[in-house]
Amino acid sequence: MHPAPSVIIFTTLSGLGFGLLVFLGLGFPAVSGWIAFVFFAIAYALAVGGLMASTFHLGHPERAWKAFTQWKTSWLSREGWCAVLALIFMGLYALGLVFLDQKWSLLGLIGALFSLATVFTTSMIYTQLKTIPRWNMNLTPVMFLSFSLAGGALLAGQTSVAIPLLLIAALVQILYWRKGDQAFASSGTDLGTATGLGARGSVRAFEPPHTGTNYLLREFVYVVGRKHAEKLRIISFVLAFVLPVLLLVLPFNHVFALLAVASHLAGVATSRWLFFAQAEHVVGLYYGKR
Amino acid sequence: MTQLPTSTERKMGLVIDLDTCVGCHACVISCKGWNTENYGAPLSDQDAYGANPSGTFLNRVHSYEVQPAEGHAQLIHFPKSCLHCEDAPCVTVCPTGASYKRVEDGIVLVNESDCIGCGLCAWSCPYGARELDQAEGVMKKCTLCVDRIYNENLPEVDRVPSCVRTCPAGARHFGDLGDPDSDVSKLVADRGGMDLMPEMGTKPVNKYLPPRPKDTVEDQIDILAPLLAPVAEEPKGFLGWLDKTLEKL
């Protein structure tokens, strides 16, 4: 799959922002006044910034509001609803904390649940696609949720929770890569089933339909950079999990905490790039490609 | 709405004969020609006369080589367009309701004024049947020439999809695959029509007729060949004497 920057920025930043909102909604850290304002401002900047970025790849962003209509079947529509509801509930909760010195815990709890639901619905947009075996796995939502919660705990300064959550996310990441590498082969789809000619012998793509490229090849058959995938995996793993955990284990220091967040963000962004760049769509088979 | 109808009154679709298709790409050109100037946004090209031409097509013809365990390889031309699936994943993923499947004939269409160009329907289609038009920013797909098949301004013979009307080999057939007595359904039953990627659970309406088995090549291809074998291999008479004498020298 083509790793569009808009989608990588969106899933990375929004995941982190909504993760932070989960912790703020549950009252960790228990902030109020201007400190609360700063925390909520960061969370909203990440969550809303990510959502804005996601509209950049649309052919007609001015019609994006229509995406709220099909929540009965579409995960993308459900994601839109969850995000808006999370931001509304958390906004009211923040209003109480920042300006009225009131803690409306129920609003925070509802907001936290919708924040989690937003991350889950985002992950389901990818998980539902049978056409991309590497995404069509139970581990995909687990990965999105574990990353979001680990990042949220890190941003919320909840060191004691952040370390185990980072370790869980690291484990999920390893499992996701291991299982994902076999997903296409074990999906049972090959050029034989794609053409229906598999029972007659081995099928080979002899001639493509056209000499140039097309939308399908640009969007679904992205092979550039796959050769560095192994190195990028190591880099992303070290940045997202190893360094932040080490920095958290050291005696607390604001510089270390900031470095841990920056490192985690860069690592998750790299992992997300791989999530798209390594994903293989079955339509590539028709072109004799993966 | 992007909820799929539980059933459709008819299942209009194509039956493509892989035995007959000669790979001429006439269907590709006639499809582009008809659909770029009729229903919906035109099918744009980018850099059409430059070094990297690329454009939107609703129908493309691939060619595959099948090598059986024994015997000769076979070349099979393979036209591919929207299969108008019964369980069309492209419809249910659409966030705006732009993608829909018609109850009356099962045709899957895009309402272009509702399409936001998010591309998710193309991601969900295993067959590569949908292409996002680069000029218009909306999703394009085969309409089964919905603007031809019911068009009473056209002569009756033309009220079929453009690709079917054009095919010089008669490799494309159009009809109601939901009616077991229709010509296309009988053709599918006779020839063992098949689904593409049945494991995806999309239940395609369009069917493909597999190539018929090739004739077997017998040992002797040409019955005249034995008569053409050289008659005299060893020279006799004077030439024979000359040959032997020269050998001895």
Res A144: pLDDT: 96
Confidence of residue A290 (pLDDT cuts 50, 70, 90): confident
Nearest Cα residue in chain A from B72: A201
Supply the pLDDT for residue B205: 96
List C-alpha distances in Å: A79 to A26, A145, B93, B146, B184. 21, 14, 12, 33, 42
Confidence at B8, pLDDT banded by 50, 70, 90: confident
Dump pLDDT digits (tens) for B72-111: 889 999 999 999 999 999 999 999 999 999 999 999 999 9
* A204 in any annotated domain: no
Q: What is the CATH number of domain B12-209?
A: 3.30.70.20
Report pLDDT digits (tens) over A61-76: 889 889 999 999 999 9
Measured between CB atoms, which of B93, B126, B194 is closest to A196?
Answer: B194
In the structure, what pLDDT confidence band is assigned to residue B232 with cuts at 50, 70 and 90? low
What per-residue confidence (pLDDT) applies to B220? 65
Residue B221 has pLDDT above 80, yes or no: no
Residue type, B216: T
* Domain count for chain A: 1
Q: Print the domain residue range for A131.
A: 5-57+65-191+215-287
Contact yes or no for A209/B61 (Cβ under 8 A): yes
Cβ–Cβ under 8 Å, residues B20 and B83: no
Helices (H), strands (E): how many in chain B? 7, 11
Question: Which residues have a Cβ under 8 Å from the Cβ of A6 and sit 6 or more positions away?
Answer: A53, A54, A55, A56, A57
Shortest CA gap A89–chain B (Å): 23
Collect all residues of chain B within an 8 Å Cβ-Cβ radius of residue A70. Answer: 1-2, 94-97
Cβ–Cβ < 8 Å for B88, B205: no
CA B51 to CA B47: how far, in whole Å? 7
Structure tokens at A156: 């919320």
For A88-107, the pLDDT digits (tens) are: 999 999 999 998 888 899 99
Q: What is the pLDDT of residue A59?
A: 87
Assigned domain for A197 exists: no
Q: What is the pLDDT of residue A31?
A: 86
Q: What is the pLDDT of residue A176?
A: 97
Pairing of strands B172-176, B12-17: antiparallel
Cβ–Cβ of B117/A219 closer than 8 Å? no
User: Rounded CA gap, B78 and B67, in Å?
Assistant: 16
Q: How far apart are CA A135 and CA A274, in angstroms?
A: 12
In this prediction, residue A87 carries a pLDDT of 95
Q: What is the phi/psi pair of residue A48, to 5°?
A: -70, -40
User: In the numeric block, which tokens belong to residue A194?
Assistant: 């794609």
Residue B219 confidence (pLDDT): 67
Backbone angles phi, psi at A274, to 5 degrees: -65, -35
Chain B residue numbers touching A188 (CB-CB < 8 A):
199
Tell me which residue has tokens 């509802």: A110
Least confident of A217-226, B174-183, B218-227, B235-244: B218-227
Q: Spell out which residues of chain A touch residue B133, defining contact as CB-CB under 8 Å.
A: 59
pLDDT digits (tens, 9 = 90+) for A124-173: 999 999 999 999 999 999 999 999 999 999 999 898 999 999 999 999 99
Rounded distance between C-alpha atoms, residue A198 and residue A113, angstroms: 47
Q: How confident is the model at residue B217, as a pLDDT?
A: 67
The pair of structure tokens assigned to A47 is 């969550």
Q: What percentage of chain A exceeds 70 in pLDDT?
A: 100
Tell me: pLDDT of B132 over 90. Answer: yes
Task: List the single best residue of B15, B25, B118 to mutate versus A (max A Cβ within 10 A).
Answer: B118
Q: Report the CATH number at residue A275.
A: 1.20.1630
Report d(CA B139, CA A70) in Å as an integer: 17
- pLDDT greater than 90 at residue B153: yes
A195 against A5, higher pLDDT: A195
* Residues B185, B14 contacting (CB under 8 angstroms): no
User: How many angstroms separate the CA of residue B203 from the nearest CA in chain A?
Assistant: 13
Confidence (pLDDT) at A73 = 92
Distance CA A253, CA A151 (A): 18
pLDDT score recorded for residue B211: 93
- Residue B39 is predicted with a pLDDT of 87
> Which span out of A252-261, B18-27, B233-242 was modeled with the highest average pLDDT?
B18-27
Q: What integer is the mean pLDDT of A50-67?
A: 88
Mean pLDDT of B18-39: 95
Cβ atoms within 10 A of the Cβ of B209, count? 22
- A207 found inside a domain: no
A284 to chain B, closest Cα gap in Å:
9
The answer on pLDDT for A227 being more than 80 is: no
CA–CA distances in Å: residue A134 to residues A147, A160, A188, A279: 18, 33, 13, 6
Cβ contacts of B61 on chain A, cutoff 8 Å = 209
Distance separating alpha carbons of residues A196 and A189, to the nearest angstrom: 11
